[in-house]
Amino acid sequence: MASPRGFSTSWVLFSSSVVVFATLCAAISPYAPGLSENFYAKSCPQAAEIVEHYVTAYLKKDSTFAGAFNRLQFHDCWVGGCDGSVLLNSTATNSAEREAHVNFGLRGIKEVDEIKAALEYACPGVVSCADILILAARDATVKAGGPWWPVALGRKDASESVDLLADGNLPFPVFPFPLLVQNFARKNFSAREMVVLSGAHTIGQTHCNGVLPHLYNFTGGNNATDIDPAMYKGFATFLKKLCPQGNRTNTLFIDSTAGKFDNAYYKNVLANKGIFITDSTLITNSLGKKLVTSFAKAKSSFFEEFAAGMVKMGNLGVLTGSQGEIRKQCQFVNHK
């Protein structure tokens, strides 16, 4: 039988090992402090199932919601963090993020509110709007044929939303490669991660508003035939039929395999068929072209890195614990 002294020493060593192991696990966690995959395990165990049910129903009616839910996560997280601020309505004294120029044509707000209503019925005051956006983006991607990734939850909702912050943080569709790199670097994302996350356009839909600078007056010389020279002329002719000069509201798909999450986006960009300037600019840089070529050949690599990028994005500026609130309706702050 071991002596009490020996037992004590062993216990100290064991305890120290546990502390070291726990510290290491915390250090390598891919999630921001306060977030966990089982955050709602006791308070609302059916939360993820409810979100998935509604996302499935929306995509069955309209597959373009896959891109809409992806866009909502990006446009939320990139402006002050993943706090649901993109969902808030403007007030008499404040113009919210949704009114920003860069958020033109933003979709899915009403659908997120419907999901929120279902969660409020099942678990009142528990699941945040910010977490709904994260879950919906992941589920929509998977159902469109894309990769799955683990989702950590526990975010709180912001009570403020300002349009100028959106226009000052989100990349505009006319950004050239250097500006895109700078924009992503401000959020601690590399040029490689920028090219990877641009791949979300594979399930995207856009209004002509973002395409017109490609097709008319590209160099600013007030010439209607001034097309982006990086665009394949036959493709430009095709796009002009969909987007006549001055028409900002017609819609078109960004990818040739509309509604399917795959690597066709990169193949299109390589063929000089990028819809936005931010797409075509990816191959104007040697690193960008190398990455686009690589992802056009290897879908599995794109999927793996895209999933990692979405997890990383979900950590941006999160409100947890006593910060923020759990909004009862996603478009309105709670009444104090």
> Is 162 among the annotated ligand-binding positions?
no
**Catalytic one among 75, 101, 207, 214?**
75
> Is 167 among the annotated ligand-binding positions?
no
> Is 257 among the annotated ligand-binding positions?
yes
> Is 127 among the annotated ligand-binding positions?
no
- Rounded to whole angstroms, how far apart are CA atoms 320 and 72? 20
> Is 97 among the annotated ligand-binding positions?
yes
> Is 113 among the annotated ligand-binding positions?
no
Count the Cβ atoms, other than its own, within 10 Å of residue 100: 23
> Is 251 among the annotated ligand-binding positions?
no
> Is 171 among the annotated ligand-binding positions?
yes
Residue found by looking up tokens 């071991």 in the block: 2
- Rounded to whole angstroms, how far apart are CA atoms 186 and 133? 22
H or E segment and range at residue 200? none
Q: Among this protein's residues, is 214 annotated catalytic?
A: no
CA torsion, ordered 228, 232, 236, 238, to nearest 10 deg: -170
> Is 249 among the annotated ligand-binding positions?
no
Residue 200: which residues within 8 A CB-CB, separation 6 or more? 67, 70, 71, 74, 306
End-to-end CA distance of the chain: 64
Please enumerate, by residue number, every residue annotated as part of a binding site for substrate: 171
Please enumerate, by residue number, every residue annotated as part of a binding site: 76, 79, 81, 83, 85, 97, 171, 201-202, 255, 257, 262
Please enumerate, by residue number, every residue annotated as part of a binding site for heme b: 201
Please enumerate, by residue number, every residue annotated as part of a binding site for Ca(2+): 76, 79, 81, 83, 85, 97, 202, 255, 257, 262
Active-site residue set: 75
